[in-house]
Amino acid sequence: MTAVPTRSPLPTGLRWSAATSAFQIEGARDVDGRGRSIWDEFLEAPGAITDASTADLACDSYRHPEADVALVAGLGLDRYRFSIPWARVQPDGRGTANTVALDHYSRFVDRLLEVDVVPFPTLYHWEMPSAVEADGGWLSRDTVERFADYAAIVVDSLGDRVAHWYTLNEPAMTTLQGYAVGALAPGRQLLFDALPTVHHQLLAHARAAQVIRSRASAQVGLVNNHTWVLPLNDTAEDRDAAALYDLIHNRVFSEPLLAGEYPDLAAWGLPAMPVQDGDLDAIRASIDFYGINFYNPTTVTAADASSPIPFDIVPTPGVPVTGFGPEWPIMPVALRDLLVDLHARHPLLPPVIIGENGASFPEPDRAARVEDADRIAYLAGHIAAVGEAIAAGVPVEEYTVWSLLDNWEWADGYTQRFGLVHVDFATGERTPKASYDWYRDLIAGARSAAAAREETR
Ligand code: BGC
């Protein structure tokens, strides 16, 4: 086990947050008129979920939102990132709102405000209503307006109290894992034919941003998953493989938002995006803050000529790994490097929010106090990396831990625990881990240091 650092260099002036997503914590899949989503379909496919679990109970957060708010308040967070599921609000993915569901999230927002925590909802954390997917999902341009209609409904209900919105969570994972290789819902295996889903998601985000700003005084962002791509060998083939992976994982999602254009896809033999007049202007003007979820670097090597994909993702040599094994190498400096690199490419970068960062480790299933020194080391290392990026001039304004709670980790079911709080999925019992206490103390320390600085001004 990694030694716990006694002191981590604390970036000054950061806001502190933790995140969850609805399907991963709520349970109550058949409650209050919720419609089916692509995850309800996906988890029923034989072999789709590692432990064949269903997220029926998860953390029982829909029935007991007060339990989550108490943990949020106990940490002393500035902000809390959670998601609102489209299929609860519009069970058929269009038309009249389900007011019972809206009232639930309205009460949840009130509870957060009562404990002085700023709500940061995400409108889409991967749960597309099955009815929208049946009409083409993110492959169809029509989904853009359907998403904007859904955004309007939610903003009309919460916009008097919510001033910060994430539209989409990690469109890259939806495109790559959901539509290209099928490891996540909706489980399509279209390889490079999945690329139109990039543009339709970015456009849906941009339309939702317009709708939100026209109905409320609010800041809007999107959160991209970023990775730092390393060639396995210093050869032209591996450098090309790494550049292509960087393009489809990072740049194709970041550059339209930050520079108003797609990278040169034709240079890689890739099809053009289905862009129409005005799309890129709308996308370029769409963010007040830029969310980055970071977990790990990705090491890439050139694939055999016979492979349908020209790169292979391989273990990153010489670094420790999380509970996922070699798939999830731990390399905090990669977060600093990617932030500094992004800022160099886009000097007018808007305020950056680290929207998720965290790690799973093997931990007991039954209720227990977990001394998770490995998670503390992971978080401390990445917070220090953020501090180094800020010192190098990158405008980072917030750091968010994934996750507040152990939860249902998508295709990995209950086998990967990411929480600051242990959850016994058989009983629902929540037990703060050592990392919860550590994060609480770190936030309190940062706040006192900031107050002391104010006094000496
Ligand atoms: C997602 C989370 C997920 C986490 C860990 C992120 O890609 O936004 O929903 O649980 O990674 O895999």
170 is catalytic: yes
- Residue ranges covered by each domain of the chain: 15-229+330-455
402 lines ligand 1 (CB under 6 A): yes
Tokens (6 digits) for 394: 């990158």
Closest ligand 1 atom to residue 360 Cα is 5
21 lines ligand 1 (CB under 6 A): yes
- Residue 175 Cα to ligand 1 midpoint, Å, equals 14
- What pLDDT is recorded for position 230? 98
Closest ligand 1 atom to residue 21 Cα is 9
322 lines ligand 1 (CB under 6 A): no
Closest CA to 173 of 240, 219, 127, 133: 127
- What pLDDT is recorded for position 12? 76
- What pLDDT is recorded for position 3? 41
Phi then psi dihedrals of residue 401, to 5 deg: -85, 130
83 lines ligand 1 (CB under 6 A): no
Closest ligand 1 atom to residue 295 Cα is 11
At residue 166, what is the residue type?
Y
173 lines ligand 1 (CB under 6 A): yes
First to last CA, the chain: 42
Q: Which fold has domain 15-229+330-455?
A: TIM Barrel (3.20.20)
Helices (H), 328-433: 332-345, 373-391
- Residue 227 Cα to ligand 1 midpoint, Å, equals 13
What CA–CA distances, in Å, run from 165 to 96, 209, 288, 331?
22, 9, 10, 29
- Residue 24 Cα to ligand 1 midpoint, Å, equals 9
- Residue 448 Cα to ligand 1 midpoint, Å, equals 31
356 is catalytic: yes
Exactly one of 133, 170, 388, 398 is catalytic; which is it?
A: 170
293 lines ligand 1 (CB under 6 A): yes
What's the rounded Cα separation, in Å, for the pair 77 and 112? 10
Greatest distance between any 2 Cα atoms in the chain: 66
Helices (H), 171-227: 171-173, 196-215
- What pLDDT is recorded for position 6? 40
pLDDT along the chain (457 residues), means of 10: 46 93 98 98 97 97 98 98 98 97 98 98 98 98 98 98 98 98 98 98 98 98 98 98 98 98 97 98 97 98 95 98 97 98 98 98 97 98 97 97 98 98 97 98 94 82
What's the rounded Cα separation, in Å, for the pair 363 and 3? 17
Closest ligand 1 atom to residue 173 Cα is 7
- What pLDDT is recorded for position 455? 84
Closest CA to 296 of 327, 318, 323, 317: 327
Find the radius of gyration of the CA atoms of the chain. Answer: 21
Full DSSP string of 290-319: EEEEE---EEEEEPPTT-SSSEEEEPPTTS
Is 0.95 topped by the overall pTM?
A: yes
400 lines ligand 1 (CB under 6 A): no
What's the rounded Cα separation, in Å, for the pair 326 and 329? 6
What's the rounded Cα separation, in Å, for the pair 106 and 161? 9
